[in-house]
Structure 1
Amino acid sequence: MAIEVTRPGKIVGPDIMSGDAALRGRQWNSERNLSSALAAIEGFLSQSCRDRVPWLSVAFGTGIAAWFALPKPSQWAGLIALCCAASLATRVCWRRCGAFQTVSQAFFWVPLTVAAGCVLIWGRSMMVGTPPIERPLYGAFTGRVLAVESQSAQSRRRLVVATRDQASGRALKIRLNLPDELSEGESVRSAEISEGSLIEFEARIMPPAAPLLPGGYNFARTAWFAGLAGSGTILKPVTVLEPAEGGEAPLARVRRRLAAHVREQVDERANGIAVALVTGDRGGITADDAQAMRDSGLAHLLAISGLHETAVIGLIYFLSVRTLALWPALALRVRLPVLASGLAALGGIGYTLLTGAQVPTVRSCIAALLVLGALALGREALSLRILAVAAFAVMLLWPEAVVGPSFQMSFAAVLAIVALSTSAPVRNFLGPREEPAWMRGVRWFGMLMLTGLVIELALMPIALFHFHKAGLYGSLANLVAIPLTTFVIMPGVVLALAADIVSLGAPLWAVVGWTINAVLGLAHWVSAQPGAVTLVPGMGEVAFTLFLAGGFWLALLVGKARLLGALPCVAGSLVLYNQAPPDLLIAGDGRNVGVVERTAGRDAPRLLLLRDTRSDYVRDNFQENAGLRGEAIYLPDHPGARCNADFCSITLQMRERAATVLLSRSRDIVPERELAAACDRADIVISDRWLPRACRPRWFKADRGTLSQTGGLSVDLSRGAVRNVAQGQGMHGWWRGRTGEMSLQDLIPPMPSPSSPDR
């Protein structure tokens, strides 16, 4: 038998040598397979992801969104540690993967950027987050007015006041509604209440409201980052103890005078929108007009955003270039685009300050300034990189805006426009060619229609997620309304204000008023069409995440690979299509309950409300969350309900069995034995009071004790699923309900399937 001496004192036989060779072969094959995989990824990234800056912006936003989605600080810290470990591991292996620079950079920078986003929002929450008041406060308060917002359409004004809790001495920043009937009297005149005034008032102040139902608007989170500890309503006339030092602030005075001037120039129906476009004050828009604008997909025209900033800055830039070009001495010595960009930037900043410098307006101004900088440098005015830098700048200043609809919709619309306009088919379609002028016009009109459709498709998932509804005809309405706003209304307002200096603005104001009325007429007509508004039950995070992933894939990649982004969008559409209205909607206080009745003889289910509330807010939230239209029915008037002064009972039919629901109506004392017997006959018991342990329904009870920890509930009986508000809040500072380590199953046991026995 042959042997081989590998080193002194060691003899290796052929069997051992063959084993070592096999091991070396497996290792070589593994490295070769790894290299092949890295080479494939390298080629894909090089061909399909030519610009990596937008992906870093998406990763930064993902880290911010992950902080909101994850419930516990330990999970936030775990995400940061995991991302840093992934970047460190990539750095260590850099030499081994030296041939794959694109892959190495992606695996290093993307996790690091995700971690940076999570760290940023966590730190901002700790620095600016304001804990809410623990309980409602009622009494007389003294405070300094920080901000005043007129809401003439609602016959009130909204004040932001700095005051103190008399019991604890804690400094509070609160938001108060001041009805107009309390703004006038011997002790106060409406003009006296301004920023800086010291006032004495009597009010009831409530903690910022959590979402009424799962998926609802989270005012508590907004107040946490805005520094608001509570909100309420002033109940008696206000006394001004000290007027503002130096009178009204100069900018506020200019804004108020401009608003009054615009109201005098434009007719009554249109002046609310005209004032909103000039000063950002939307309080003069009537509720009917605002609802019609929302249902027709034109509500974005009412908020000062990128559209309005673009119109103002674009007009100033165009007029500056054309006017300065008439001065040959200046045109020969100075680059006019640079000078015009500077003038347009000053005009955009001034317009932002004039309209109140709200976060969406400032965000749009930052993006517009970046575009002006690109123009001044002779680069492409609008590109994915410019948009990514603008989004990154906004997220650095206001990271909490990532989860808000304003940020998502504004950047999604611009992203859709840029992605569409930079795609190869569109460039070829709009490329120069020898053709008649009318054919070129047809081509551009077709492109305008396609752009409106793409924007509507991009915004629809966001609208459905946040508002549970979207306008089907919004793209068609925007095709008319956006050009009118951009090229007629906004330039007309600017030119009319300039012409008013020499008292020549009346004709321009007439054109502005007529155009605004035309837009309002279009909004009312579109919103009145059958099927104009699509309502869906609350979209879950899964479907929304699929839409986001598919949208980013379609927008940021190039080549045929981008078409794969349609697959997540199709999957999200299927999830959304199979979304069914919940059977029970329970508000966090237990007083307001909605029951969705499904009857075989009816085409659509109906919403039954336990209490005949006059609050539009409560009724609209229940209808939107259930995805139902039409008038809600008062449950005690329903023939299928059995009600007395204390309780209502209704039986809901499911696929294979029925479920009996018992709902309390009063807080009168009920004998415990009778209550226990009624609970024993029910599957689910819902109450706004504390129920004794003797109350044992078959499935679960949602009383004040349970709801104080879970918040509002959404119950799907057919699937045995229960969603609650607490699931989306976690241990973030704005959530007052605490479940601690207790799970939802401890509070609400899993419901049996329809085919299981009752007990």
Structure 2
Amino acid sequence: MGILARIDAVLLGQRGHLFPWAPVCFGLGIATYFALRSEPGLPEYAGLVALGAVCAGASLRRPGGWAALGWAVALMAAGFCIAGLRAQAKTAPVLGWRYYGPVEGRVVAMDRSASDALRVTLDRVVLAGVPPEARPGRVRISLHGSAPALAPGQMIMTSAHLSPPGGPVEPGGFDFRRHAWFMGLGAVGYTRSPTLTVSPAGAGRAGVRVAVLRMAASNRVRAVLPGDVGGFAAAVTTGDRSGMGRDALDALRASNLAHLLAISGLHMGLLAGFVFGAVRMALALVPPVALRWPVRKIAAVAALLAAAVYLALSGGNVATERAFVMAAVALCAVLVDRRAFSLRAVAMAALIVLALRPEALLGPGFQMSFAATTALVAVFGWIRDADLPALPAWARPVLGVVISSAVAGAATGPVGAAHFNTLAHYGLPANLASVPLMGVLVIPAAVLAACLAPFGFEAVGLHLMGIGLRWILGVATFVSGLDGAQGRVAAPPGWVLPVLALGLLWLMLWQGRARCAGLAPAALALVAWGWAGADRPEVLVADTGALVGVMTETGRALSKPRGSGFIAGVWLENDGDGATQERAAARWPEGDGRVRRILAGGHEILHVSGKRAARSLETCRPGQVVVASVPVDPPGGCIVYDPPRLRQTGSIAISGGVTVTARQVSGDRLWNRPAGGRARVMAAQ
């Protein structure tokens, strides 16, 4: 009883500081759902609902320290069930075969692919020979052929190659099928054929009308500000990144300034803060209004409306929705006379975002956004409560910018490195030289342009924006060109980032000296991450059989210098290797014949690429692993991974003689179940 009483007393001592733990518990339930290897059924959901209800009821009847644990269990059960409900609600047809033929649909979104091609997302899809009940609700196509100027709402037609969304390029890697499931994408592909406009953009539903307005605004911005500056301005104001060139994007990423492209918490916060301050100051200049009306609350309502307009104009993607929720929570706190920036406000925003889009928990956007916000609120809260010497008035904003940039960079750095395998070594000075300009010039100029647009004078604000954005692009180009500007890190084991996050959350959210206990799991995670490079798979096999990667003393050797470039790039990035595919292919030992051979993982690996190479493989022997890009069946007792088998296993990793498939790691979930139908290619009509 002594131990139980002690736990109860400790939890009672945290009273008043436990609400920030609510999204943590809710998120643990969501994470548990996504970590399962098989889809839960109705009995599991019913049991969790009953468990959550019992725990919540017991906590209401018996308030006290132990009640916090009851609420924690109830929140975890709720998170699990909401994630499952969201996944079931996104059920839609997924293409079950490779398709080539006519594709018709309505443009609902436009962006750029990794190869810098214009990419369109279509709904109302029509595929030749595919019945309506089997057609994907949405498809995404990269346009490599000629195309007219496109806009949301247009009906277009082309001949395209389509396939089901692909799985992880290596076991345990990023699962694009899961990502596509929640985006509603039932097929992805490309076209090299001309794209024709079937009908112009119509009125359509409200979302399409807003998208048309958004693209019109983007086109106007780029007409006033040509080149990358205009593309940057369009991205900041409307969320349209299609005007940004690849070199500019790479420079922003290498200098850790790419976050300025996304309409996220920084942009939404700067916009809302500027409108709030401007309206409050304007009303304060009118004495009768300032003395009789709640000026602060009126300014908060105006800022909330401006943020809502910004959300609609920007396309309403997940990152912008998350930023709007966070800004709205802060502004509503002002309306009810609460502190706008507190860990409670951050927790409320996180709960709302996770309840609406539980899948966001797995994405880098959510993780980086709330990591930065939580760390900033916690650090500035410690500074506020600490008895520190007063600074001169001029030094406070300077120190605030330095501290906020350093804290946000430190909080988001591990998340970015885990997802993107890069570190921007000069990210702090680049942000110090750029972020203040966003708040002082770029965002105010964007608001000015929006206010002047109805009168036809938006160019005044846009040219002011251009001054700031040219400076930021210049900083990005200079910093990315420095020696060692970008470092490479190996992908950590899957458990590292969650353990690191929980340790740092304990450090920031727990009250008292025991918060330091959070440093132990955080340090353990970082040490394990340091060993990640040594634990990378010895052999990786693409799920198409078109590429094999083998770890050597000089890095991963690839079986081909060209082809499957996306897969090759991800493998090398996860290794923390900055080599190009061509350089990595040069590490493969030279050999005679069309079949490429290498010793690794306790086996002799044979890569057979193409039909001519397959015909030359007449036999094999036990101990050999044959990877083929076309169906093969050589006699001799070897292990064969060809397209028919790889469709069942997904990508493969071999280490120490142990083979792990993507299917084994991903399990049997809604988004990776076979869509049905045999593989077929339909000729263009």
TM-score, structure 1 length as denominator? 0.81
State the alpha-carbon separation in 1 of the partners of residues 527 and 46 from structure 2: 33
Match of 2:607 among 650, 663, 666: 663
Could you tell me which residue of structure 2 aligns to residue 325 of structure 1?
284
Structure possessing the higher radius of gyration over alpha carbons: 1
Match of 1:576 among 523, 529, 538: 529
Match of 1:69 among 32, 35, 57: 35
State the 1:452 CA deviation: 2.6
Could you tell me which residue of structure 1 aligns to residue 682 of structure 2?
none
Aligned residues of 1:489 and 1:516 also touching (Cα < 8 A): yes
State the alpha-carbon separation in 1 of the partners of residues 44 and 320 from structure 2: 35
Matches within 5 A, 1:177-192: 177=141, 179=143, 181-184=145-148, 190=149
**Matching residue's letter, 2:344:** R
Could you tell me which residue of structure 1 aligns to residue 626 of structure 2?
685
The reply to whether residue 121 of structure 1 matches residue 83 of structure 2 is: yes
Match of 1:631 among 555, 580, 599: 580
Aligned residues of 1:215 and 1:538 also touching (Cα < 8 A): no
List per-residue Cα deviations over 1:510-563 (Å, max 9, x = no partner). Answer: 442232122122223333334433323332122122112112111211222111
State the alpha-carbon separation in 2 of the partners of residues 693 and 670 from structure 1: 9
State the 1:410 CA deviation: 0.8
State the 1:121 CA deviation: 1.2
Match of 1:427 among 382, 385, 388: 385
Q: Bigger shift: 234-243 or 265-274?
A: 234-243
Could you tell me which residue of structure 2 aligns to residue 38 of structure 1?
4
**Matching residue's letter, 1:172:** P
State the alpha-carbon separation in 2 of the partners of residues 638 and 221 from structure 1: 34
**Matching residue's letter, 1:648:** R
List per-residue Cα deviations over 1:645-687 (Å, max 9, x = no partner). Answer: 2x111235x8xxx7532222333486899522xx33x554333
State the 1:93 CA deviation: 10
State the alpha-carbon separation in 1 of the partners of residues 539 and 362 from structure 2: 27
The reply to whether residue 201 of structure 1 matches residue 154 of structure 2 is: no
Matches within 5 A, 1:293-372: 293-372=252-331
Could you tell me which residue of structure 1 aligns to residue 428 of structure 2?
475
Could you tell me which residue of structure 2 aligns to residue 713 of structure 1?
652
Could you tell me which residue of structure 1 aligns to residue 544 of structure 2?
589
Distance change (3 Å), C-alpha of 1:691 and 1:736: farther
State the 1:429 CA deviation: 5.6
Aligned residues of 1:266 and 1:513 also touching (Cα < 8 A): yes
Could you tell me which residue of structure 1 aligns to residue 368 of structure 2?
409
Q: Bigger shift: 683-692 or 308-317?
A: 683-692
Could you tell me which residue of structure 2 aligns to residue 537 of structure 1?
490
Could you tell me which residue of structure 1 aligns to residue 555 of structure 2?
606
**Matching residue's letter, 2:646:** L
Could you tell me which residue of structure 1 aligns to residue 681 of structure 2?
none
Q: How big is the alpha-carbon RMSD for the aligned residues of Structure 1 and Structure 2?
A: 3.2
**Matching residue's letter, 1:491:** P
Match of 2:470 among 499, 514, 517: 517
Aligned residues of 2:8 and 2:66 also touching (Cα < 8 A): no
The reply to whether residue 230 of structure 1 matches residue 187 of structure 2 is: yes
Match of 1:52 among 18, 40, 46: 18
Match of 2:131 among 168, 176, 179: 168
Could you tell me which residue of structure 2 aligns to residue 212 of structure 1?
169
Q: Bigger shift: 153-162 or 303-312?
A: 153-162
Could you tell me which residue of structure 1 aligns to residue 679 of structure 2?
none
State the 1:732 CA deviation: 1.1
Distance change (3 Å), C-alpha of 1:437 and 1:242: closer
State the 1:461 CA deviation: 2.6
Aligned residues of 2:424 and 2:486 also touching (Cα < 8 A): yes
SS of the residue 1:205 aligns to = strand
List per-residue Cα deviations over 1:70-95 (Å, max 9, x = no partner). Answer: 11135896587378548747967999
State the alpha-carbon separation in 2 of the partners of residues 329 and 259 from structure 1: 41
State the alpha-carbon separation in 1 of the partners of residues 310 and 45 from structure 2: 41
Aligned residues of 1:76 and 1:118 also touching (Cα < 8 A): no
State the 1:428 CA deviation: 1.9
State the alpha-carbon separation in 1 of the partners of residues 471 and 577 from structure 2: 30
Distance change (3 Å), C-alpha of 1:669 and 1:436: closer
List per-residue Cα deviations over 1:198-227 (Å, max 9, x = no partner). Answer: 444322221112122234432211221122
Aligned residues of 1:496 and 1:509 also touching (Cα < 8 A): yes
State the alpha-carbon separation in 1 of the partners of residues 192 and 461 from structure 2: 43
Matches within 5 A, 1:247-266: 250-266=209-225
SS of the residue 1:370 aligns to = helix
Could you tell me which residue of structure 2 aligns to residue 527 of structure 1?
480
Aligned residues of 1:133 and 1:207 also touching (Cα < 8 A): yes
Q: Which has the higher contact order (CA 8 A, sep 6+)?
A: 2
State the 1:722 CA deviation: 4.3
Q: Bigger shift: 67-76 or 284-293?
A: 67-76
Structure 1 portions without partners, runs of 5+: 1-33, 185-189, 599-604, 739-759
State the alpha-carbon separation in 1 of the partners of residues 144 and 607 from structure 2: 39
**Matching residue's letter, 1:63:** G
Distance change (3 Å), C-alpha of 1:198 and 1:488: closer
Between the two proteins, what is the percent identity of the paired residues? 28
SS of the residue 1:134 aligns to = coil
State the alpha-carbon separation in 1 of the partners of residues 260 and 295 from structure 2: 31
State the alpha-carbon separation in 2 of the partners of residues 587 and 508 from structure 1: 50
Matches within 5 A, 1:384-403: 384-403=343-362
The reply to whether residue 560 of structure 1 matches residue 513 of structure 2 is: yes
Aligned residues of 2:39 and 2:670 also touching (Cα < 8 A): no
Could you tell me which residue of structure 2 aligns to residue 648 of structure 1?
596
SS of the residue 1:304 aligns to = coil
State the 1:473 CA deviation: 2.9
State the alpha-carbon separation in 2 of the partners of residues 586 and 289 from structure 1: 33
State the 1:688 CA deviation: 3.0
Could you tell me which residue of structure 1 aligns to residue 249 of structure 2?
290
Could you tell me which residue of structure 2 aligns to residue 751 of structure 1?
none
List per-residue Cα deviations over 1:601-658 (Å, max 9, x = no partner). Answer: xxxx33322122255423321211222112334677557332412x111235x8xxx7
Q: Bigger shift: 53-62 or 246-255?
A: 246-255
SS of the residue 2:495 aligns to = helix
SS of the residue 1:332 aligns to = helix
Could you tell me which residue of structure 2 aligns to residue 675 of structure 1?
619
State the 1:737 CA deviation: 6.0
**Matching residue's letter, 1:226:** M
**Matching residue's letter, 1:651:** L
Distance change (3 Å), C-alpha of 1:280 and 1:323: same
**Matching residue's letter, 1:546:** V
State the 1:106 CA deviation: 2.0
SS of the residue 1:490 aligns to = helix
State the alpha-carbon separation in 2 of the partners of residues 570 and 178 from structure 1: 43
Could you tell me which residue of structure 2 aligns to residue 601 of structure 1?
none
**Matching residue's letter, 2:66:** S
Match of 2:566 among 614, 617, 629: 617
**Matching residue's letter, 1:139:** G
TM-score, structure 2 length as denominator? 0.89
Distance change (3 Å), C-alpha of 1:713 and 1:446: farther
